Structure 1
């Protein structure tokens, strides 16, 4: 069993990659962050389709939270004021509004500014073969 939660994100999305990097530096969540293209999705209990659709938070015991719930879990894991923000994101009606904002951003993430794509870093067989999948672009 894993000891730490895993935050799964779309490493082929510059906006997502940059966002996770900023979160790791500023928020410092207590988790492992991994691009879904470089993760062993089967062992995490998620599909490529779901991982390409939304960020995912996988607990050490295998529970999976997606979208804004994954964001809330990430913030909660950091503690302090970030945990307060994460807790607020779990409360209705904030949760409902946050879900709408999350979907709006996620659906248009290809048009948002961002950094390098994780596919530029060969870490898996697909990357080394030069065929990093982009299922939801």
Structure 2
């Protein structure tokens, strides 16, 4: 079995803080990597997909809250229950709008910066 990869936006301070929390507190086998430093072609991902949402690449592929659900399931024990709950149909229906809201407002959340709200093309020009 290959090591799963969880891809996030490394230019976003909020996303990076979340990834650091995961690395410290959630015992996943996944490799957490900012998409800016990932070999997206080898992972079968595009820049657009990575700008849109976090990505999970493993035996299955997922994005956004579905990626978080797989990451939590991978972590085992109590995390597996949280991941199964997040992946459950009714919860998924609520999770996606919440994920989109957080994604669109991450620059206003703790650890976020104004650069978090800009598309990558605009960040590259900064």
Q: CA deviation at 1:108?
A: 1.1
Q: Cα RMSD between the aligned structures?
A: 2.0
Misfit runs of 4+, over 6 Å: none
Residues in 2 aligned to 1:38 and 1:20: alpha-carbon distance in whole angstroms: 14
In the TM superposition, what are the counterparts of 1:68-87 in structure 2 within 5 Å? 68-87=65-84
Aligned length: 118
Structure 1 segments unaligned to the other structure (5+ residues): 117-132
* Length-normalised TM-score, structure 2: 0.86
Q: Decide whether aligned partners of structure 1 residues 37 and 58 sit closer, same or farther in structure 2, where only a CA change above 3 A counts.
A: same
Compute the displacement of 1:12 (Å): 0.3
Preserved CA contact (<8 Å) 2:106 2:112: no
Indicate the structure with greater helix content: 2
Aligned to 2:95: 98
**Deviation of residue 42 (structure 1)?**
0.6
The normalised TM-score by structure 1 is 0.79
Greater relative contact order, per chain length (Cα 8 Å cut-off, separation 6+): 1
